[in-house]
Structure 1
Amino acid sequence: MKNLNELQKEGLKTFEILVEPGQFTEVRLLNTKQGTLSGYYNDVDKLIEHIQRYDGNYNIYITMNALSEGIEARGKNHLKSYAKNTTSDKEIRCRRWILIDLDPERPAGISSTEQELKLSEELGRKIQGYLTDCGFPEPVTALSGNGFHLLYPVELPNTPEMTSLAKGFLGALDSRFSTEQVKVDTTTYNAARITKLYGTVSCKGDSTEERPHRRSKILYVPEKRVPVAIELLQQIAAQCVEKGNKKKTVNRNEKREPARSISGSKMEFDLRLWLESHEIPVAREKQVENGMCYVLESCPWNQEHSKDNGAYVIQFDDGGIAAGCHHDSCKEENWETLWRMLEGEKPMPSVKKAKTENLPSAEKESPVDVLLRLIEEQGHIPFRSTEGEAFIQIPNKVSFVNYPLKSEYYQMWLRNLYYQTYNRGSRNDMIQAVMETLVAKAHCQGKEYPVYNRFAFHEGHLYYNLADRDSTVLCVDESGIKCCSEPPVRLITRKNIRPQPMPQKGKSFRKLMNKYYHFASMSDRILHNVILIVRLITGIEQPIVIYKGSKGSSKTTSMEMDKRCLDISSNNVTVMPKNEEDFLLLLESQDIVCLDNMDSITKSQANIFCQVVTGATAVKRKKYSDSELCEINIKSVVYMNGIHLLSDRSDFLDRCVFLNMKAISSEKRRSKKDVMEEFEADKPCILYRMFECLSRAMEIEPLIEVNIDDRLLDFLKWGCAVAEAMGYGQEKFLEAYQKNRTRLNEELLEEDEVAGAVMDYLEESGNFEGTMSELSAELFDMLYEKGMYASNKIKQANHLSRRLKELETGLHNVGISVEIGKNNGKRFVKISRENTE
């Protein structure tokens, strides 16, 4: 929907029409992820530059009337997040425009249809014709995106009388012209009124074919600006008063004293203007069941109650007024005490005491309701993952951060919010009620997003969360590295995550890797450097990397440096959890898992590791539930270290890459603390080079073809692309990978009892063909004659059969054929050298 040329053209036109030369106007965006954004501009080029990123995502407004001098210091030619002070009515120097906003009637929060938009324009043209007949000059006409605008130029002082005049003028038009389909908006009377910044997109609700988001635009500008004479406005406003007296209608926002209208008739008490005259700022207005509620920015009775907008004043349709504060210490305060505090013994215009039974239902807020309202006002947005887990998005100064909704951090945040609001501790059941409501909103109303931890590869882009103070997310694609304010995925900040530095250009990646890692061979170095970058591609099967080497070969340090490059956390290296559930939770919570000092792997652990590579989903019983199950995504990247071969299971070993480390001499050995400090100092450059290499690999990957039969084909394809981008080349990488597989297979066969016995038998006795029991006996006898022990894997035919099936691929790789089957109803096994007839 973004069209920069149209935005620049219409934005410039709006600025020239509404803003006097050299003067400032406020630009305002409401309900963004950074709260209210506000800035004061006299530089239209900067204005367009700063708002273009928000165009189409948020509604963008501008003040119409001349601002008081010095107000621009709040944010001169830039936008400020979480703006606490925006332009108030008393900060308007004079009125230059009156806005007639024709808004189609429709459900709240959605855009208008083409027919509704057409009806609003038709009514606007009708009102324009009527006012022209009354002697009004030509207005500026515009489409707001959902309705029709008439902007009439005026030259009026900003006084309460002129506010009443503008209000009466709009009220008269409303009474005369509003229909069931289109209404004249009567709330645009106040001096600090904001209007659409024409040229920006109006975005209410979702953009659908029937109710699309549209770009606002100015339709017509008169050749000359001719202000409306005050007598013409009075003439129209007088009709409103007369009609109002006949119907005995009550305006909720009338004058603070028995005041005189322009026509001389008595008007109702204007609560809004009374509040302004006493400099009591209003946070927001909201229509309640039988009146208008003004929620105050701060409590007039107790300034300590200013954090949650708990004070309010209500003007009822019958003229009565109620006031109060939700805090216990203010429970005796009401409209009468407010009036006496500010007006002394002056007669009160109208009194309704602010007792709970007299308040509309909307004002009876429990502490849970208050917390939920404050959460919404601060821009917290519940959402859910594609797996159905609930999360919360919290805005910060620049971007936003995402947490698991039921995380310990968010619960602490809620408790702190309650304490700040009520100055007392919160009950567990209260926090639980808030959490359950937010979870329900996440599932029933929240949007669904793909959810990841530190980083995600999504639709050809890498999104990487630095997890710094500004929650910076980087986007890496074929064009390079850049910051991304609103990624299409949600990256979750979990308890153990730690910040990464901003990437910076520097030394080459290969030189930096040579500085810190001590591999036994060049092929291991190539594999490591390529794998480290391919780790950033989520969604593909990644090999388990196992560091091997003698004592003092920096296996743990090397593994931790890999972790620090990819996903630094509070526990970069851990030991294997003792029970399976803890192990699964560890895999779910971290993108990179490093397991230290592994001695061996059980059969069930090997099965889990195989599932980790392929990306299976584990199922476990939900906490505090007897029957409900929940899914855990255990696709993760795993590193281990050990001295020996950790498992003899071929399906596990097929998913592993072993990197051999060479021992570091005592002269070159340094403390881990010194190494890590230097490594962290170089990490900005390491990250930059990793992302830079991945960006080049993204261009290369579609051209790569890999003709190898392997479980990890997607990994190999990306590995070839990274190797090409790094300068190694595809052939060297594949050669290093094949060499690693061959070496692993040889180590497996050398350490396996059955494989060793079979190879010795073929060497001494030649090929074998017979039953499994006969083979078991032959192997047992051979070992017995050599004085060697034979376990059940050889002594029992069924164990021998199972192990031979597991070793079939490994033996095939060294030229030994194993065939197990049936012939004439009898089971047989045939073992032979593949080059033997």
Structure 2
Amino acid sequence: MYLEEIKKTLNFIKDEGEVCEVRMLKTDKGTISGYYDNYEKLASDVQPYIGKHNIFFTLNPVKTDLIKRSENKLKFYAKETTSDLDITKRRILLIDLDAARPTGTSSTDEEHKNAIERAKEVEKFLGEQGWSEPILADSGNGVHLLYHINIENNNENAQLIKNVLKVLDKIFSDKKVDIDTSVYNAARICKLYGTIACKGDNTKDRPHRIAKILKQPEKFEIVDGKQLQKLTLMLPNDKEKNDKLDSGTKFNIKSWMQKYKIKVFKEKDLGNATIYVLERCPWREEHKDHSAYIIQYDNGAIAAGCHHDHCSEENWHTLKDKLEPGWIKNKRKDKKSAGDNKISQADILISIASQAEFFSNDSDETYASIKVDKHVEVYRLSSFKFRMWLTKIFFDETGKAPTADAMKQSFGVLNMKALIEGQKRKISKRCIKYDEKIYYDLCDEDWQVVEIDGSGWKIIDNNRPIFVRNKNMKAQIIPEEFDDLSIINKFYRFKSEDDKILHLVDIVTKFIPDIPHPIDVLYGEKGSSKTTSMRKDRDIVDPAIRDIIAMPTSNSDLGIILNNNYMPCFDNIDNISAGKSDILCMAVTGGGFSKRKLYTDEEESILFFKDCVVLNGINVVATRPDLLDRSILLELERIPDNERSDEQTVWKEFNDAKPKILGAIFTTLSKAMKIYKNVKVDKLGRMADFTKWGYAIAEAAGIGGEKFIDAYFNNQNRANDEALESNPVASTIIALMKNEEKWEGTVSQLLTKLCDVAFIEKIDTNSRLWPKEPNVLSRRLNEVKSNLLLYGIHYDIRHHGNAKKITITKENEDIDSDMIDF
């Protein structure tokens, strides 16, 4: 038990071949120390000492030369141990939460529980700041949060880590749980997980416990230096005291916050001041990650701020400017000069901006709708275009350019008008449903839209604030009246008739807003025009300046792309991580994504999306069962060399036909809107709305609804095969049940059996999807439960004493050994 936990810990935290020191203090043989790059040997060497001494190891990588001190062995009475200068890089940030208890004792169960609950609060808080998922570990008496960082080992970064711990200590430490601010040094040693924490006597009330990892992320992603720096901005410093305070008479800050409905998330005594961490940022209410704060010092001075980039200039004065316009004038009314009676530039800007209508959406993004000739244009208040519009009308009115300070002050008031006085409205990119009609934004300079209902379609001026645009959106060509949807087939080379039907129907459903759209997975060998086909789809539905995108490395960047595109297209993908797969699943059904704020004002802290997503790769890039359930697989055939055309010819032919393609799509969609009301489908696929709309569209296009249903369910079966083939656990279960009607045993026994079967069947057990522990096997089985059912394999897990018992049954005839290609 201990050996496996130790090896699992080191293999996850450490790079292969990385040197670490293991250390035991105050033993009967002095300090025992050893330097190891062989973790199996390390686990074996420390085993005799488990439960007798507290065993520690270095979290950060040690210089490789130090292994010569005691290479892969323990040394008694060691005089040399690892110093800060011996650390090559800071790669782990340790947040040590200690349960408050008498010195020299182990924690009680209640004290231990308090530390775990507080650690989860800290993890949630840092997750809201955009930090990646940490390792959550039980230290035996408290809890450790280990974050993956990658910064140089220098004095500057030592102070950075120290300040990070101070911020967390100020917010989360109390009489029950304390965050240790002394663990900032690079050579900090940590309890070796898999060993026993044995502080004080082992009693019933205060037992010795095994230190172990409670939860670890599938991918240990990096928290970068900028994120660390942002957190430290919440720590009061001398600059804030000198530059950001109103040193007037002390007043009741709590009453003031209540008056302006500023909600406090957490209040903390800092010794010489009190910090109020706010529920929302008062400057930009889309910041809901507890990033804003107000500090009142004992001398009456007040500081305020927010650690997001776009609030870097905000302070106590700008907060009062926003909530109490004219407060300085009122404060100094007895000292007015003649110049003070003049109307300020900010007042002029606010006055002339009143010709616009201000509103917000459900996620508190603020907008202005502006009437221009016969149409309405909508801009985010944070956008460059709105700033230019405001600057122009100010210049037209005064003949002068507004100052930066006047613009800032006016924007505070206009945001307030949008959030508090304005209506809540639903706006969208490209497509929206309104009053039982579908509207499609052509994104041209005249803000024209296509209006579609059961009686047909037409192009009209946009006279409602329903669409918002971004820099990547490109104008669509003007469509022409046409009714033959099969014109699309000319420009694609799908391998099967079913895929042609699915593609035709699917491209029309892309124009239906507010329904879950399946993810299109285009695949095929080299030369099958995967990228070109995807670009054509994008050009039909959502023309863009940057039409295809590489899959980003971070989940946060993926969230931004999904938020900013109606139909994001990801090109040439090799594989998709679990985290990105989960986000793409969310993009199908609609959801929100929390991210750190490192970009422009148009990227918000909470991103909402419900997209039409397209992926392509040589193989089926969606491999996880939940993602495959939400996908349609479209295979392209290789284009023979004698049938290839140059790029210019291909796109000229496509663009010449595009007005008719769009006309055929809108005509088909109009007919389908009438049919849809009466559609009754006996069997719905995983994407129920898509199934019903697909049936109506296939009927409207003359394909036939039943033909579409058959094609869709055949495709789902294909997706199920892919899910099982790409999952080593599912493949091994199928192999196990080839000649079995029933198998029973514990989950642990099943894992052993599956390893044996995998060896015989040559199934890769080194895959990251292969479970190393029985509890992980249970999760992996749950992921493919519905897929195995389609092969007649059912399992049931029940608690049986101290173990979980599993029963697997095969409910159909013998499974064909060729069903899965091993």
Bucket of the pairwise TM-score, normalised by the shorter protein: 0.5 to 0.7
How far apart are residue 653 of structure 1 and its match?
Answer: 1.4
Partner of 2:727: 752
Q: Which digits, 9 at most, give the CA deviation of each residue in 1:404-449, with x for residues without a partner?
A: 1111222233344555666665432222223222222222333332
Q: Which digits, 9 at most, give the CA deviation of each residue in 1:73-101, with x for residues without a partner?
A: xxxxxxxxxxxxxxxxxxxxxxxxxxxxx
User: 1:704 aligned to 673, 679, 684, which one?
Assistant: 679
Trace 1:101-120 onto structure 2 (pairs within 5 A).
none
Trace 1:581-660 onto structure 2 (pairs within 5 A).
581-620=556-595, 630-660=605-635
For the 8 Å contact 2:592–2:607, the answer to whether it is kept is yes
How far apart are residue 617 of structure 1 and its match?
Answer: 1.9
User: 1:817 aligned to 794, 799, 802, which one?
Assistant: 794
Q: Give the 3 Å change call, closer, same or farther, for CA 697–752 of structure 1 in structure 2.
A: same
Extract unaligned runs of 5+ from structure 2.
Answer: 1-335, 815-822
**Secondary structure class of the residue paired with 1:520:** coil
Trace 1:413-562 onto structure 2 (pairs within 5 A).
413-418=389-394, 425-485=401-461, 490-506=466-482, 508-510=484-486, 512-562=487-537
User: 1:392 aligned to 360, 368, 389, which one?
Assistant: 368
Partner of 1:317: none
Q: Give the 3 Å change call, closer, same or farther, for CA 440–811 of structure 1 in structure 2.
A: same
Percent identical pairs in the alignment equals 32
User: 1:672 aligned to 602, 627, 647, which one?
Assistant: 647
CA distance in 2, matches of 1:786, 1:740: 27
CA distance in 1, matches of 2:428, 2:709: 30
**Secondary structure class of the residue paired with 1:763:** coil
AA of the residue aligned to 1:381: E
Q: Give the 3 Å change call, closer, same or farther, for CA 789–620 of structure 1 in structure 2.
A: closer
Q: Give the 3 Å change call, closer, same or farther, for CA 641–424 of structure 1 in structure 2.
A: same
Q: Which digits, 9 at most, give the CA deviation of each residue in 1:566-593, with x for residues without a partner?
A: 1112111111222222222221122111
Partner of 2:810: 833
**Secondary structure class of the residue paired with 2:798:** strand
TM-score, normalized by length of structure 2?
0.54
How far apart are residue 604 of structure 1 and its match?
Answer: 1.0
Moved more, 786-795 or 399-408: 786-795
Q: Give the 3 Å change call, closer, same or farther, for CA 787–408 of structure 1 in structure 2.
A: closer
For the 8 Å contact 2:494–2:636, the answer to whether it is kept is yes
**Secondary structure class of the residue paired with 2:674:** helix
For the 8 Å contact 2:521–2:621, the answer to whether it is kept is no
Partner of 1:693: 668
For the 8 Å contact 1:533–1:690, the answer to whether it is kept is yes
CA distance in 1, matches of 2:690, 2:680: 12
CA distance in 1, matches of 2:676, 2:763: 52
Q: Which digits, 9 at most, give the CA deviation of each residue in 1:501-551, with x for residues without a partner?
A: 2221247221x2111111011111111111111111111111111111111
Extract unaligned runs of 5+ from structure 1.
Answer: 1-355
CA distance in 1, matches of 2:521, 2:763: 31
Residue 782 (structure 1) aligned with residue 760 (structure 2): no
Trace 1:302-313 onto structure 2 (pairs within 5 A).
none
**Secondary structure class of the residue paired with 2:478:** coil
How far apart are residue 629 of structure 1 and its match?
Answer: 8.9
AA of the residue aligned to 1:472: Q
CA distance in 2, matches of 1:643, 1:829: 38
**Secondary structure class of the residue paired with 1:470:** coil
Q: Which digits, 9 at most, give the CA deviation of each residue in 1:436-488, with x for residues without a partner?
A: 22222222333332111111023421011112221112211011112444555
Residue 570 (structure 1) aligned with residue 548 (structure 2): no
How far apart are residue 823 of structure 1 and its match?
Answer: 5.3
AA of the residue aligned to 1:366: S
Q: Which digits, 9 at most, give the CA deviation of each residue in 1:386-421, with x for residues without a partner?
A: 332111122333312111111122223334455566
Q: Give the 3 Å change call, closer, same or farther, for CA 797–464 of structure 1 in structure 2.
A: same
Q: Which digits, 9 at most, give the CA deviation of each residue in 1:10-55, with x for residues without a partner?
A: xxxxxxxxxxxxxxxxxxxxxxxxxxxxxxxxxxxxxxxxxxxxxx
Q: Which digits, 9 at most, give the CA deviation of each residue in 1:97-123, with x for residues without a partner?
A: xxxxxxxxxxxxxxxxxxxxxxxxxxx
**Secondary structure class of the residue paired with 1:493:** coil
CA distance in 1, matches of 2:458, 2:697: 20
Trace 1:268-283 onto structure 2 (pairs within 5 A).
none
How far apart are residue 600 of structure 1 and its match?
Answer: 1.0
How far apart are residue 799 of structure 1 and its match?
Answer: 3.0
CA distance in 1, matches of 2:590, 2:762: 46
AA of the residue aligned to 2:455: S
Residue 367 (structure 1) aligned with residue 367 (structure 2): no
User: 1:729 aligned to 694, 704, 707, which one?
Assistant: 704
**RMSD after superposition:** 2.9
Q: Give the 3 Å change call, closer, same or farther, for CA 616–785 of structure 1 in structure 2.
A: closer
Partner of 1:69: none
CA distance in 1, matches of 2:425, 2:402: 32
Q: Give the 3 Å change call, closer, same or farther, for CA 444–765 of structure 1 in structure 2.
A: closer
Residue 380 (structure 1) aligned with residue 356 (structure 2): yes
Q: Give the 3 Å change call, closer, same or farther, for CA 507–481 of structure 1 in structure 2.
A: closer
How far apart are residue 734 of structure 1 and its match?
Answer: 0.7
**Secondary structure class of the residue paired with 2:804:** strand
How far apart are residue 371 of structure 1 and its match?
Answer: 3.3
Trace 1:66-85 onto structure 2 (pairs within 5 A).
none
CA distance in 1, matches of 2:658, 2:525: 27
How far apart are residue 817 of structure 1 and its match?
Answer: 2.1
How far apart are residue 819 of structure 1 and its match?
Answer: 2.5
CA distance in 2, matches of 1:487, 1:418: 25
Q: Give the 3 Å change call, closer, same or farther, for CA 790–589 of structure 1 in structure 2.
A: closer
For the 8 Å contact 2:376–2:463, the answer to whether it is kept is no
AA of the residue aligned to 1:757: T
For the 8 Å contact 1:468–1:500, the answer to whether it is kept is yes
CA distance in 2, matches of 1:785, 1:392: 66
Structure with more contact order per residue of length (Cα contacts < 8 Å, sep ≥ 6): 2
Residue 799 (structure 1) aligned with residue 767 (structure 2): no
For the 8 Å contact 1:463–1:475, the answer to whether it is kept is yes
Q: Give the 3 Å change call, closer, same or farther, for CA 567–786 of structure 1 in structure 2.
A: closer
AA of the residue aligned to 1:479: S
Partner of 1:256: none
CA distance in 2, matches of 1:762, 1:514: 43
For the 8 Å contact 2:585–2:626, the answer to whether it is kept is yes
TM-score, normalized by length of structure 1?
0.53
Partner of 1:300: none
Q: Which digits, 9 at most, give the CA deviation of each residue in 1:651-707, with x for residues without a partner?
A: 121111111111111122223343223322222211111111111111111111123
CA distance in 1, matches of 2:644, 2:670: 35
Q: Which digits, 9 at most, give the CA deviation of each residue in 1:772-798, with x for residues without a partner?
A: 222223332334456665348266433
CA distance in 2, matches of 1:516, 1:553: 12
How far apart are residue 638 of structure 1 and its match?
Answer: 0.7
CA distance in 2, matches of 1:537, 1:448: 23
For the 8 Å contact 1:610–1:655, the answer to whether it is kept is yes
How far apart are residue 751 of structure 1 and its match?
Answer: 3.0
CA distance in 1, matches of 2:689, 2:363: 24
Moved more, 778-787 or 707-716: 778-787
Partner of 1:346: none
CA distance in 2, matches of 1:430, 1:624: 24
